[in-house]
């Protein structure tokens, strides 16, 4: 390892305004690892680390709210309203005013709700769903099924061409804000404006951007958005996803999943479905309370954190990692497929490399955890709340070792 | 069982109860409080907090993303245990995932897709609302006729009613095995047979049955079922639901929410949806793992006790409720709102009273008896055989008698709270 790089890393860590936030997470706790050999975890874009407050909160939810109050907690502990309440807690992170985000179900189920509802809201005669051609597969599958159900056809289009391809037949476009493989950040304002100019709606998938960079849904007039909460939001394994429905669209949001939790009077047991007002018409069945309240507690890690600081650190971390890789890894062994340009970069670095699967296994063996995406991509996620510059350096250094 | 209204009858039943020891396997923080609402949210099993702590601190905190190697098939593993011990299904026929409403939607849509020439869906107008709303939505979207049978509010759907509504145009029948309001238990084998005779499929909602009454999905020829895990299965608030698809039918059906957890070689990230042939084709996406994890220790208790023994005790508990209600409560304005024979009920009993809501509130706050209210005027009494004692039922009915006699409840507000 170069001494100069190490000094730089330590300097950058010393100047890092978010450095103390790392203490909010349960890292460096593995009992079978000697002190000082803490793992470098660069897979928070797959499963975020555990915030300290979660275990105690979950214990309280389980032992007091469930164990002692039991059924009363649906009212008294606010379980019934948790989907909207936790939604309002996520809202500022994605640039949404209160009352437009609801939490519950998986990302896939929410993509399904959003796409079907979008087609139902689109002007008559539109029969085409555009989907980001390089999308995380579940979005593509869901788009197919939503299109099939609504009598539309799916047309895959590269996310960068989406603005140009939206046309008079387009009902809705489904676009990833950040590409899961390459880490490329797509143009949310421009694509949204182009879709609106063509009379179409847009559904944004924020899985790889929320919590990593500023998202401004209200400002850019986004129609609908979905995202998961277990990556940069650290909500825990499979924590429930969220759905954003822009306020003025809510009265027209016609869910394909009209479960009783979205009814205007769920306990009235009324004969006919009548959707509630507001964003809670995005709900379906009984919310998964333990997972949802673990997420609620996890979101406390964001208290006092400015998303602009997160973005600043994210870019600096990924810049520094790329610089370390360039200096330490022999030429020609890896190639970055993540854009160098800041405006086009999310919060990960993806490197193409031969034998990427074995290389990642070797990295994990040496305590550097990223992940492998077929066929040949090493993915390193940088989570500014708890990733340090020394971690970026050690990851690059270990990669160089493995490749030599 | 000895007929009588003396408390000694209940005491003797407790003394002879082979499941009595299971009560200690649950967290009971206030022994004075009688909880007869396990049909809505089951009690917390004593082993659950430690199990969850291990999943959070060891699995999530320690193992981080690597723990998915272990977690990825928990929905299938829990499903296999439910199939074997609770639902009378075969291996590979049950998986735990999503909410009951979503599972109902998936299976109903799959069944309707597979019967394109039929245009009627039969439901019970008195079924739990989400079942009706989901089917209303599907019927409207597909231009199908939704035939809503009006079952007896107290006695449930009658076989003759169903028989006369079934014809060659019926694609799907959606019914709850145990009614959420009256507790009426249907004859699964008979209903399946009636439907099969006209080529219709039945989709069962087992939410109020599973863990309380023996369910024989395989033996009765059932094809489709869903249900929740937070009532008699004690999985915790909003714990994930399950779905069942008969093995022979799985490859023919395609659920409509095509997510990556149903995909062949899921991590190959193939562009075209190509579902696995097995029960996992009905999965959609990443399960809410902490909520899912809580099912594990809860299910272990049901497995250990055995549903046959749970049912045997449930029948006795139910009979004690109705015996005491018959003897004590008639003059106080109550009448039974459930089938009379214990064998025709699930584990809960409903009582009609014009002031059921206020009595329910008074019972909870003045007499420490928690049961629940269901519109329009029903009090649901839900003993849960794994932790409810016979003397608790006796005491609860005694306190109910007292609350109804004192009539203090008349000063309580008649407005319903948000969650009932």
- Kindly tell me if the per-residue pLDDT of A393 is higher than 90: yes
The residues, ordered by sequence, that sit 6+ positions from A15 with a Cβ below 8 Å of its Cβ are none
Above pLDDT 90, what percent of chain A?
Answer: 93
- Kindly tell me if the per-residue pLDDT of A31 is higher than 60: no
Q: Which of B105, B230, B232, B261 is catalytic?
A: B230
> What is the rounded average pLDDT of the residues A169-174?
98
Considering CB atoms only, which of A30, A71, A288 is closest to B288?
Answer: A288
- Position A38 scores a pLDDT of 75
**Is the CB of residue B43 less than 8 Å from the CB of residue A70?**
yes
Decide the pairing of beta strands A242-245 and A224-227: antiparallel
Tens digits of per-residue pLDDT, B336-393?
999 999 999 999 999 999 999 999 999 999 999 999 999 889 999 999 999 999 999 9
Question: What residue ranges define each of the domains in chain B, with the CATH number in brackets?
Answer: 7-46+306-411 (3.90.1150.10), 72-303 (3.40.640.10)
- B416 contact A CB<8A: yes
* Active-site annotation holds for B261: no
- Position B2 scores a pLDDT of 55
The residues, ordered by sequence, that sit 6+ positions from A296 with a Cβ below 8 Å of its Cβ are A57, A82, A85, A86, A89
Rounded distance, CA A34 to CA A32, Å? 7
- B205 labeled binding residue: yes
> In which band, very low, low, confident or very high, does the pLDDT at A30 lie, cut at 50, 70 and 90?
low
Tens digits of per-residue pLDDT, B127-162?
999 999 999 999 999 999 999 999 999 999 999 999
**Is the CB of residue A383 less than 8 Å from the CB of residue A48?**
yes
Shortest alpha-carbon distance between residue B191 and chain A (Å): 24
- A138 labeled binding residue: yes
- Kindly tell me if the per-residue pLDDT of B181 is higher than 80: yes
Above pLDDT 90, what percent of chain B?
Answer: 93
Do the chains contact at B294 and A62, CB–CB below 8 Å? Answer: yes
> In which band, very low, low, confident or very high, does the pLDDT at A89 lie, cut at 50, 70 and 90?
very high
The third-level CATH classification (topology) of the domain covering A80-302 is 3.40.640
- ipTM for the predicted complex comes to 0.95
Chain B CB contacts of A239 below 8 Å: 288, 290
- Kindly tell me if the per-residue pLDDT of B179 is higher than 80: yes
Instruction: Provide the chain A residues 349-378 that lie in CB contact (below 8 A) with chain B.
Output: 364, 369, 371, 373-374
Q: Which residue of B has its CA nearest to A59?
A: B49
Tens digits of per-residue pLDDT, B60-103?
999 999 999 999 999 999 999 999 999 999 999 999 999 999 99
- B147 labeled binding residue: no
User: In a 3-state reduction of DSSP, which class is residue B93?
Assistant: coil
- Position A248 scores a pLDDT of 98
**Is the CB of residue A219 less than 8 Å from the CB of residue A272?**
no
This prediction's pTM: 0.96
> In which band, very low, low, confident or very high, does the pLDDT at B414 lie, cut at 50, 70 and 90?
confident
> What is the rounded average pLDDT of the residues B107-121?
98
Above pLDDT 70, what percent of chain A?
Answer: 97
- Position B54 scores a pLDDT of 97
Chain B CB contacts of A294 below 8 Å: 56, 290
- A372 labeled binding residue: no
Rounded distance, CA A351 to CA A109, Å? 31
Do the chains contact at B134 and A68, CB–CB below 8 Å? Answer: no
Rounded distance, CA B345 to CA A208, Å? 50
Helix axis angle for A389-403 and A307-328, nearest 10°, is 30
- Kindly tell me if the per-residue pLDDT of A75 is higher than 60: yes
> What is the rounded average pLDDT of the residues A94-118?
98
Tokens of residue A82, six digits: 């948790």
- A7 contact B CB<8A: no
**Chain A / chain B CB contacts < 8 angstroms:** 257
* Active-site annotation holds for A267: no
Do the chains contact at A237 and B286, CB–CB below 8 Å? Answer: yes
- Position B3 scores a pLDDT of 63
* Active-site annotation holds for A205: yes
Query: How is chain A split into domains, by residue range?
Result: 3-52+306-403, 80-302
- Kindly tell me if the per-residue pLDDT of B166 is higher than 80: yes
| Class at the top of the CATH hierarchy for domain A3-52+306-403 | alpha beta
User: In a 3-state reduction of DSSP, which class is residue B120?
Assistant: strand
Q: What is the DSSP string of A261-283?
A: GGBSSGGGT-SS--BPSGGGGG-
> Which of these, B166, B125, B168, B122, lies nearest to B144 by C-alpha position?
B122
């Amino acid at each position: 390892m170069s001494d100069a790089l190490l000094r730089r890393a330590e300097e950058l860590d010393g100047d890092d305004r978010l450095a103390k936030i790392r203490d909010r997470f349960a890292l460096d706790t593995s009992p079978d690892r000697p002190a000082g050999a803490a793992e470098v975890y660069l897979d928070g874009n797959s499963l975020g680390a555990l915030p300290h407050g979660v275990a105690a909160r979950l214990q309280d939810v389980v032992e007091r709210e469930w164990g002692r109050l039991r059924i009363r907690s649906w009212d008294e502990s606010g379980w019934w309203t948790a989907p909207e309440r936790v939604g309002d807690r996520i809202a500022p992170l994605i640039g949404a005013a209160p009352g437009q985000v609801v939490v519950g179900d998986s990302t896939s189920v929410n993509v399904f709700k959003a796409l079907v509802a979008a087609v139902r809201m689109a002007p008559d005669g539109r029969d085409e769903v555009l989907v980001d051609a390089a999308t995380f597969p579940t979005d593509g599958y869901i788009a197919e099924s939503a299109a099939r159900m609504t009598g539309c056809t799916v047309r895959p289009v590269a996310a960068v061409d989406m603005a140009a391809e939206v046309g008079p037949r387009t009902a809705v476009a489904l676009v990833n804000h950040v590409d899961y493989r390459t880490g490329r950040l797509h143009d949310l304002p421009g694509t949204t404006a182009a879709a609106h100019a063509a009379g179409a709606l847009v559904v944004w998938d924020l899985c790889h951007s929320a919590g990593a960079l500023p998202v401004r849904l209200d400002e850019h007039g986004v129609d609908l958005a979905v995202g998961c909460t277990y990556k940069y939001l650290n909500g825990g394994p499979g924590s429930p996803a969220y759905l954003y429905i822009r306020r003025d669209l809510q009265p027209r949001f016609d869910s394909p999943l009209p479960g009783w939790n979205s009814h205007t009077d769920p306990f009235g047991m009324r004969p006919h479905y009548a959707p509630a007002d507001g964003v809670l018409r995005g709900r379906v069945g009984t919310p998964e309370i333990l997972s949802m309240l673990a997420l609620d507690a996890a979101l406390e890690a964001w208290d006092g954190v400015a998303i602009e600081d997160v973005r600043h650190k994210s870019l600096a971390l990924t810049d520094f990692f790329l610089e370390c890789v360039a200096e330490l890894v022999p030429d020609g062994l890896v190639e970055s497929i993540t854009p160098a340009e800041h405006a086009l970069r999310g919060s990960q670095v993806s490197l193409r490399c031969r034998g990427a699967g074995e290389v990642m296994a070797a990295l994990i063996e040496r305590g550097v955890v990223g992940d492998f995406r077929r066929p040949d991509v090493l993915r390193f996620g940088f989570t500014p709340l708890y990733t340090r510059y020394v971690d970026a350096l050690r990851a690059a250094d270990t990669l160089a070792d493995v490749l030599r | 069982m000895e007929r009588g209204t003396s408390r000694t009858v209940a005491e003797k039943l407790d003394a002879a109860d082979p499941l009595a020891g299971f009560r200690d396997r649950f967290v009971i923080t206030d022994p004075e409080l009688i909880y007869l609402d396990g049909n809505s949210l089951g009690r917390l099993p004593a082993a659950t907090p430690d199990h969850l702590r291990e999943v959070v601190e060891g699995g999530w905190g320690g193992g981080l993303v690597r723990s998915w190697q272990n977690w990825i098939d928990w929905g299938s593993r829990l499903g296999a245990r439910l199939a074997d011990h609770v639902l009378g299904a075969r291996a590979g026929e049950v998986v735990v995932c999503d909410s009951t409403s979503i599972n109902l939607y998936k299976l109903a849509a799959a069944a309707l897709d597979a019967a394109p020439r039929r245009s009627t869906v039969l439901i019970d107008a008195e079924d739990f609302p989400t079942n009706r709303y989901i089917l209303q939505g599907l019927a409207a979207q597909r231009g199908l006729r939704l035939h809503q049978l009006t079952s007896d509010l107290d006695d449930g759907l009658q076989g003759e009613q169903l028989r006369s509504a079934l014809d060659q145009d019926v694609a799907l029948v959606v019914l709850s095995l145990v009614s959420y309001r009256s507790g009426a238990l249907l004859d699964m084998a008979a209903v399946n047979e009636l439907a099969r005779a006209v080529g219709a499929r039945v989709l069962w909602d087992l939410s109020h049955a599973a863990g309380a009454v023996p369910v024989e999905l395989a033996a009765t020829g059932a094809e489709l079922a869903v249900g929740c895990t937070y009532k008699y299965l004690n999985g915790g608030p909003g714990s994930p639901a399950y779905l069942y698809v008969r093995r022979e039918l799985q490859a023919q059906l395609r659920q409509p929410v095509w997510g990556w957890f149903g995909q062949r070689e899921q991590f190959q990230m193939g562009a075209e949806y190509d579902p696995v042939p097995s029960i996992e084709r009905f999965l959609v996406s990443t399960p809410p793992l902490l909520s899912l994890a809580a099912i594990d220790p809860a299910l272990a208790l049901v497995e250990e006790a055995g549903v046959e023994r749970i049912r045997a005790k449930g029948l006795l508990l139910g009979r004690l409720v109705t015996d005491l209600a018959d003897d004590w409560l008639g003059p106080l304005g109550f009448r039974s709102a459930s089938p009379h024979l214990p064998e025709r009920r699930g584990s809960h009993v409903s009582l009609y009273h014009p002031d059921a809501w206020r009595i329910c509130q008074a019972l909870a706050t003045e007499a420490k008896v928690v049961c629940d209210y269901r519109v329009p005027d029903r009090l649901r009494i839900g003993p849960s055989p794994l932790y409810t004692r016979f003397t608790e039922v006796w005491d609860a009915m005694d306190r109910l008698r007292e609350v109804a006699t004192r009539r203090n409840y008349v000063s309580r507000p008649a407005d319903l709270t948000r969650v009932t």
